[in-house]
Amino acid sequence: MTVITCIEDLRQLARRRVPRMFYDYADSGAWTESTYRANQEDFQPIRLRQRVAVPMEPRSTRTTMVGQPVTMPVALAPTGLTGMQHADGEILAARAARRFGVPFTLSTMSICSIEDVAEHAGPGFWFQLYVMRDRDFVGRLIDRAKAAGCGALVLTLDLQILGQRHKDLKNGLSAPPKPTLANLLNLATKPRWCWGMLRTPRRQFGNIVGHVKGVDDMSSLSAWTQQQFDPTLNWRDVEWIKNRWGGKLILKGIMDPEDARLAVESGADALVVSNHGGRQLDGAESAIRALPRIVEAVGDRIEVHMDSGIRSGQDVLKAWALGARGTYIGRAFLWGLGAMGEAGVTKALEIIHKELELTMAFTGHTDIEKVDRSILIPGTFPTA
């Protein structure tokens, strides 16, 4: 593919270059994948008002997310196994995000460790936390993120138990990949990926292996993680985490107005309207449809962000117009990473920024801070 013009081009290239089990891990949802599909499809009916004979330059997409200046209201979402899409994937994505001027959020379930990424990330280095039963380990993770200079802690609330993802089950997903005949045959068709993995020592969960007693390799890690995601997570735990962290706290996984109000009461700095990319509760509504109700429920008492389904700069602008003051891209940057490494992540950001800037201009604006719901055609967008 010589000319890449959109995120879909990166997806197609990543599909050819990334082993099937890891490509499917990113490009899949739970059960029937109805929510996964709805996240993207529900952006399409939202129509934009085109304006003419208005100044279209100079244009600025600059704003802030939890007080941090950003080139555009987009952050790289926390995604597990990023370092299995491409060798050293978290490091490469963090470098691309730093140069572009947007935050990079490292997952608890990353391949590269907090300390690995901290050496390459800029001020927009955030850390995403899963709550485990082992609270001592959770506390140490928070302390490590603080020591690494992370500017925000993103606490994921919607993965107390794991959604059933059929593709992962059928592929026998693991890191490193299980040496089944099917997987070995597939790996043989991905020489670029294999060569990269041979050259890096980072092939396991760097935030966990070596940091938990008795977890020294991938086999012991598998048994540990199956027991550790904590189904008893509650708002008292959020308070404990907030006090232990002491910095900017973002709560990810809010889909209900009542939960949004509880997020406000928790004292968090921002919430993320998110259904985990359709990877948890299949049958939940799309994030873009839930967004207006959440915004109405909280007003200006907390900063509202959104993820799940964003594939273009137009999606970013529509989410902004409906009240999101930040968005996150997961699959879009993963496809860039799998397709072309660091350059692919940069390309994904360039594509989204260009689409955002041009669409903003066509709707009659040159400053994203002045964009509101008036750019949307009434009756085509979800309301509270």
Q: Is 133 annotated as a binding residue?
A: no
Domain ranges for the chain: 7-375
Q: What is the pLDDT of residues 39-76, one digit of tens each?
A: 999 999 999 999 999 999 999 999 999 999 999 999 99
pLDDT at 218: 59
Burial class (CB in 10 A: 0-12, 13-18, 19+), 207: buried
Q: Is 242 annotated as a binding residue?
A: no
Q: Is 80 annotated as a binding residue?
A: yes
Which residues have CB under 8 Å from 59's CB, separation 6+? 357, 360, 361, 366, 367
Look at the block and give the residue holding tokens 């594509």. Answer: 351
pLDDT band at 180 (very low <50, low <70, confident <90, very high): confident
Q: Is 192 annotated as a binding residue?
A: no
Q: Is 61 annotated as a binding residue?
A: no
Q: Is 331 annotated as a binding residue?
A: yes
What residues are annotated to the active site?
Answer: 276
**What's phi and psi for 174, nearest 5 deg?**
-160, 165
**What's phi and psi for 341, nearest 5 deg?**
65, -145
Does domain 7-375 bear CATH number 3.30.10.20?
Answer: no
Q: Is 176 annotated as a binding residue?
A: no
Segment 379-384 mean pLDDT: 94
Q: Is the pLDDT of residue 1 over 60?
A: no
Higher pLDDT pick, 168 / 346? 346
Stated pTM of the model: 0.96
What amino acid occupies position 144?
Answer: R
Higher pLDDT pick, 120 / 217? 120
Segment 68-92 mean pLDDT: 97
pLDDT band at 176 (very low <50, low <70, confident <90, very high): low
pLDDT band at 177 (very low <50, low <70, confident <90, very high): low
Q: Is 37 annotated as a binding residue?
A: no
Higher pLDDT pick, 181 / 153? 153
Burial class (CB in 10 A: 0-12, 13-18, 19+), 186: middle
Cβ proximity of 24 and 344 under 8 Å? no
Q: Is 36 annotated as a binding residue?
A: no
Q: Is 310 annotated as a binding residue?
A: yes
Cβ proximity of 332 and 343 under 8 Å? no
3-state secondary structure of 94: helix
pLDDT band at 222 (very low <50, low <70, confident <90, very high): low
Query: Across all residues in the chain, what is the average pLDDT?
Result: 95
Q: What is the pLDDT of residues 109-157, one digit of tens each?
A: 999 999 999 999 989 999 999 999 999 999 999 999 999 999 999 999 9
Segment 235-257 mean pLDDT: 98
How far apart CA 230 and CA 133 sit, in angstroms, is: 5
Segment 218-241 mean pLDDT: 84
